[in-house]
């Protein structure tokens, strides 16, 4: 087949502009998510080492090294399970929340200000809501994959005794979104970088990580700082993860509260994010 004939055949198979526009209007969020995932794939090994390698090393240090000392001192301090089983769901959730914090801060602001990657798709039939949804879908896929790999490491350490431990993958992803989506809305509202994200990481993400019952039961903290855990997606996700991981005993109502809080925060974040994207880019 000659070159001209090949071009003619390709053109014949191509969709008309009307059909392409109609498909973009219907499936635009997934098209944009695919584009982001392809970009992520380009530096997948770096992402894997940062998102999984570092937390797994932390799990080994805290759960295997320190756990031997903790379990030897008081084997029954964590509801009849080992210290490793106690902290594994917390580290799984914390890793997802920190990844979400990274994905929904600088990349979002960069889409509006530095690289302006949101405006190219917006010149097509894609709406601001689809662009926002595409980024959320892509990050959700990353969180699911990251959490699945992390859970596999947890299982290798025998740190998830229950057969429902795999549900921690979904819980960690939901916790990441419950923190990340409100943060995404905030990131979309920022027009000048004045160190806001550094403050978020230092004074919000890190205190939530430390005071959310990650390394010890929240009840062991004084009331002056215990409230940090009560409002923390990390705590709600961790407690829910422990229920699935080793049958952590808590009132069923409290389990429902954990789930409702995480879903409500994610839903609120999505609503605010849509509003900010429309505000910045217009209809």
Mean pLDDT of 188-216: 91
Residues 178 and 262 sit within 8 Å (Cβ to Cβ) = yes
Q: How would you class 182 by CB atoms within 10 Å of its CB: exposed for 0-12, middle for 13-18, buried for 19 or more? A: buried
Q: Give the integer Cα–Cα distance in Å for 245 and 108.
A: 33
Residues 201 and 101 sit within 8 Å (Cβ to Cβ) = yes
Mean pLDDT of 161-180: 95
Contacts of 121 (CB under 8 A, 6+ apart): 28, 32, 35, 131, 134
* pLDDT band (50, 70, 90) for residue 133: very high
Q: Which of 25-34, 88-97, 101-110, 191-200 has the lowest mean pLDDT?
A: 25-34
Mean pLDDT of 49-57: 74
Roughly what angle, to the nearest 10 degrees, separates helices 83-103 and 233-246?
140
Mean pLDDT of all residues belonging to the chain: 86
Mean pLDDT of 170-187: 97
pTM: 0.87
Residue 176 has, within 13 A of its CA and on its CB side, a CA count of: 32
Q: Give the integer Cα–Cα distance in Å for 142 and 44.
A: 10
Q: Give the integer Cα–Cα distance in Å for 173 and 103.
A: 13
Rounded to 5°, the CA angle 126-267-232 comes to 130
Q: Give the integer Cα–Cα distance in Å for 244 and 249.
A: 10
In the numeric block, the tokens 């903290």 are attached to 221
Q: Which of 14-23, 225-234, 236-245 has the lowest mean pLDDT?
A: 14-23
Residues 173 and 144 sit within 8 Å (Cβ to Cβ) = yes
């Amino acid at each position: 087949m000659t070159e001209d004939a090949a071009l003619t055949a390709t053109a014949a198979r191509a969709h008309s502009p009307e059909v392409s526009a109609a498909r973009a209007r219907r499936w635009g969020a997934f098209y944009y998510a695919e584009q982001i995932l392809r970009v992520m794939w380009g530096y997948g090994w770096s992402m894997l080492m940062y998102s999984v390698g570092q937390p797994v090393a932390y799990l080994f240090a805290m759960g295997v090294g320190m756990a031997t000392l903790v379990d030897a001192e008081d084997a029954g301090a964590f509801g009849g399970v080992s210290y490793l089983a106690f902290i594994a769901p917390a580290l799984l959730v914390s890793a997802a929340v920190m990844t979400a914090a990274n994905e929904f801060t600088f990349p979002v602001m960069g889409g509006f200000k530095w690289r302006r990657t949101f405006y190219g798709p917006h010149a097509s039939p894609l709406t601001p809501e689809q662009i926002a949804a595409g980024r959320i879908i892509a990050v959700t896929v990353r969180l699911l994959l990251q959490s699945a790999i992390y859970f596999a490491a947890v299982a290798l350490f025998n740190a998830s005794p229950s057969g429902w431990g795999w549900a921690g993958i979904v819980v960690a992803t939901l916790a990441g979104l419950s923190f990340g989506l409100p943060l995404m809305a905030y990131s979309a509202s920022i027009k000048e970088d004045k160190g806001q994200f550094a403050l978020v990481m230092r004074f919000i993400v890190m205190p939530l990580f430390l005071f959310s019952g990650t390394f010890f039961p929240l009840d062991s903290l004084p009331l002056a700082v215990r409230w940090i855990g009560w409002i923390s997606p990390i705590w709600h996700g961790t407690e829910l993860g422990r229920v699935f991981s080793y049958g952590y005993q808590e009132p069923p109502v409290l389990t429902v509260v954990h789930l409702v809080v995480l879903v409500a925060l994610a839903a609120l974040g999505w609503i605010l994010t849509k509003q900010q994207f429309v505000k910045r880019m217009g209809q």
